[in-house]
Amino acid sequence: MNQIFSKSLLGLAGVSFLLCSSQLAMALVPNNVAIIVNSGSTNTIGYRIYVSPSGEVKYVDGKGSNQGKLSEKLTKKFFSDLKVAEPLSNLPKQGCIKSVSFGTITSIRLAGEESSDISCPGNPKAQRLDNDVIEIAKALNVINIPKSQGQPLPPQNF
């Protein structure tokens, strides 16, 4: 009996290690990749968009995950606006009135820094980033869809 229990426990530990290893591999995002995170709301599913300086993107929303490529012009504008706004964590936090049911928070992560909610821009730098994010989401057809029409996002492991 002890032998069966020990083997079962060892098997579970192996499965746990494999799961943790694969999640860690997914969590590794290069420092030069910008991550746009939209929280979703009470009624909608958010999204995450991973943008590389080459314009290659991977994203996940309530419809699932996908990939694409942004135009060179939009990619350059976005990364230029990010550079001007650095460090992202120093962008001013500006509160704004949002619907309880449909209000979302949008932030950007890059190289260990994270912005405040750029959808409530506290200065022109944050406003430019918000405009960029709106344009990027539109180019990729990424939207906040109702929870009743999609699947929750997979966990973020970083």
Q: Are residues 4 and 51 in the same domain?
A: no
Q: Is residue 155 classed as helix, strand or coil in its secondary structure?
A: coil
Domain range for 25 is 1-29
Residue 157: inside a domain, yes or no? no
Looking at residue 120, which CATH number applies to its domain?
Answer: 3.30.1560
Residue 154 and residue 139: Cα distance in Å, rounded?
23
Task: With cut-offs at 50, 70 and 90, classify the pLDDT of residue 27.
Answer: low
Per DSSP, 65 falls in state E
Q: What is the pTM of this model?
A: 0.79
Q: Does residue 155 lie in a domain region?
A: no
pLDDT tens digits for 50-88? 999 999 999 999 999 999 999 999 999 999 999 999 999
In a domain, 103, yes or no: yes
Q: Which residues touch 78 (CB under 8 Å, ≥6 apart)? A: 34, 51, 70, 129, 132, 136
- Examine the domain organization and report whether 135 and 122 are in the same domain: yes
Same domain, yes or no, for 4 and 41? Answer: no
Residue 7 located in a structural domain: yes
pLDDT tens-digit profile of 144-154?
999 999 888 88
Query: Is residue 64 domain-shared with residue 140, that is, in the same domain?
Result: yes
Distance CA 62, CA 154 (A): 10
Domain count within the chain: 2
Q: How far separated are the first and last CA of the chain, in Å rounded?
A: 40
- What phi and psi values does residue 48 have, to the nearest 5 degrees? -130, 135
